[in-house]
């Protein structure tokens, strides 16, 4: 992974090289804290040890009973699904991957009606085994399997913690079970059993994913100028301190669109605390040049734009044409055009004094994805250290979970009473 922060300097909000140089001492302290947390296997910091501690062979053994699957369906939400979806949507496979990560009844019904459940492997993912959305969807999936005459116990495995409903279910029905790694928050779990099980069923190279992550881990250093991940984390933090409170995250590859969704959860849930944080805005190049770039260039000066791309890809030529005004496109390629769009957007933002950062990998493959995923996790943790935030907690999310559970009759929670007491001003 390569991080170019040159266009983050001198814009509006303004960040100078002198300011970054001063911040570098804090980056050194942050790196020391991160390294200590990794060495001591502390909660959250253990995420950065996954390139070494994840066990690809154990994952493959657990999913071996599903080698005949034409489809893998992951039932989870948030970090229990987005990492796996990032890998699945970025890499090609003969095994289709789908994700039930919402409780929209119409979507769930359409998906289950379209699948051959007799050739589908179902992975139910919840660390606690109590996640209402995940367990509700699983009960629906199990019912659909029963209705289709499919023995759900032969097509299901779980990824969960040491205790809880899913662990009990696995024990009762002798289901294959993978352990969620201890001390790893869900949004940081993509390089573990949580993110890699579906990838294993799809036949992806788990060792290459972890090797790419290990490469990026080895680049962590005591200076932002020596570490692509820390360069990004420190630059985004410094710009946020100066008013760039929106981070428009814009990959230039369709295969990385879900990666932008994964990044949004990582950034928002980890850093949105104590009145701090940066709002991630998902975009896709070149599509959103035609829908969002106007705002980035000419709107409020409160944005950083992160541009992400592979430098190598399979290309496709543009045919020659005799249409007037289009002859300049003939003989070019779609990849050349996309690269030109990338360069033009970057220059356009810089000309408008909108800070932007370029992140590149060689190609969208297992190793490149490992680099990106680990790099963004380390960048996020670096930002959290610099901002003195509790990066690995999510108290606001827990509030909403309690409120929903109370509304459904799952216990007495004061959060549910707050929902019932909502003020209303209805206009019809």
373 burial type by CB count under 10 A (0-12 exposed, 13-18 middle, 19+ buried):
buried
Q: What is the 3-state secondary structure (H, E, C) of the chain?
A: CEEECHHHCCCCCCCCHHHHHHHHHHHHHHHHHHHHHHHCCCCCHHHHHHHHHCCHHHHHHHHHHHCCCCEEEEECCHHHCHHHHHHHHHCCCCCEEEEECCCCHHHHHHHHHHCCHHHEEEEEEECCCCCHHHHHHHHHHHHHHHHCCCCHHHCEEEEECCCCHHHHHHHHHCCCEEECCCCCCHHHCCCCHHHHHHHHHCCCCHHHHHHHHHHHHHCCCCCHHHCHHHHHHHHHHHHHHCCCCEEEEEECCHHHHHHHHHHHHHHHHHHCCCCCCCEEEECCCCHHHHCCHHHHHHCCCCEEEEEEEECCCCCCECCCCCCCCCCCCCCCEHHHHHHHHHHHHHHHHHHCCCCEEEEEECCCCHHHHHHHHHHHHHHHHHHHHHHCCCCCCCHHHHHHHHHHHHHCCCCCCHHHHHHHCCCCCCCC
Catalytic status, residue 269: yes
Catalytic residue chosen out of the listed positions 290, 324, 412, 422: 290
Catalytic status, residue 402: no
Cα–Cα distance for residue pair 387/380, rounded to 1 Å: 11
Q: In terms of Cα–Cα distance, which of 213, 204, 294 is closest to 248? A: 294
Catalytic residue chosen out of the listed positions 216, 269, 366, 377: 269
Beta 156-160 vs 177-179: how paired, if at all? Answer: parallel
Buried b (16+ CB within 10 A) or exposed e, 410-419: eeebebbeee
Q: How many CB atoms lie within 10 A of CB 358?
A: 19
Please list the active-site residues.
269, 290, 401
């Amino acid at each position: 992974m390569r991080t170019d922060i040159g266009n983050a300097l001198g814009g509006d909000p303004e960040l100078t090289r002198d300011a970054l140089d001063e911040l570098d001492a804090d980056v050194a302290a942050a790196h020391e804290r991160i390294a200590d947390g990794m060495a001591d296997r502390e909660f959250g910091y253990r995420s950065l040890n996954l390139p070494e501690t994840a066990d690809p062979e154990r994952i493959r053994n657990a999913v071996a009973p599903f080698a005949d699957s034409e489809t893998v369906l992951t039932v989870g939400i948030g970090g229990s699904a987005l990492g796996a979806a990032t890998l699945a949507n970025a890499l090609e496979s003969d095994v289709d991957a789908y994700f039930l990560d919402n409780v929209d009844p119409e979507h769930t019904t359409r998906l289950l009606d379209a699948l051959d459940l007799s050739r589908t492997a179902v992975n139910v993912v919840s660390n606690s085994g109590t996640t209402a959305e995940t367990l509700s969807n699983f009960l629906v999936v199990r019912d659909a399997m029963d209705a289709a005459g499919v023995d759900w116990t032969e097509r299901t495995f779980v990824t969960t913690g040491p205790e809880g409903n899913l662990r009990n279910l696995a024990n009762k029905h002798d289901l294959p079970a993978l352990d969620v790694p201890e001390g790893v928050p869900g949004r940081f779990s993509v390089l573990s059993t949580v993110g890699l099980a579906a990838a294993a069923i799809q036949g992806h190279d788990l060792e290459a994913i972890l090797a790419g992550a290990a490469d990026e881990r080895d680049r962590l250093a005591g200076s932002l100028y020596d570490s692509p991940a820390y360069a990004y984390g420190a630059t985004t933090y410094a710009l946020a301190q100066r008013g760039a409170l929106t981070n428009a995250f814009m990959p230039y590859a369709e295969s990385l669109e879900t990666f932008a969704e994964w990044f949004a959860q990582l950034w928002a849930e980890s850093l949105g605390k104590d009145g701090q944080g940066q709002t991630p805005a998902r975009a896709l190049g070149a599509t959103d040049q035609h829908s969002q770039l106007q705002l980035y260039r000419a709107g409020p000066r409160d944005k950083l734009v992160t541009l992400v791309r592979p430098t190598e890809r399979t290309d496709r030529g543009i045919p020659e044409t005799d249409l007037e005004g289009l002859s300049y496109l003939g003989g070019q390629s779609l990849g050349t055009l996309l690269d030109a769009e990338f360069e033009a957007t970057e220059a356009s933002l810089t000309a408008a004094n909108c800070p932007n950062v370029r992140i590149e990998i060689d190609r969208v493959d297992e190793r490149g994805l490992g680099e990106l995923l680990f790099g963004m996790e380390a960048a996020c943790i670096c930002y959290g250290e610099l901002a003195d935030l509790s990066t690995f907690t999510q108290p606001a999310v827990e509030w909403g979970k309690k409120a929903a559970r109370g509304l459904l009759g799952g216990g007495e929670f004061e959060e549910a009473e707050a929902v019932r007491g909502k003020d209303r001003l209805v206009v019809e």
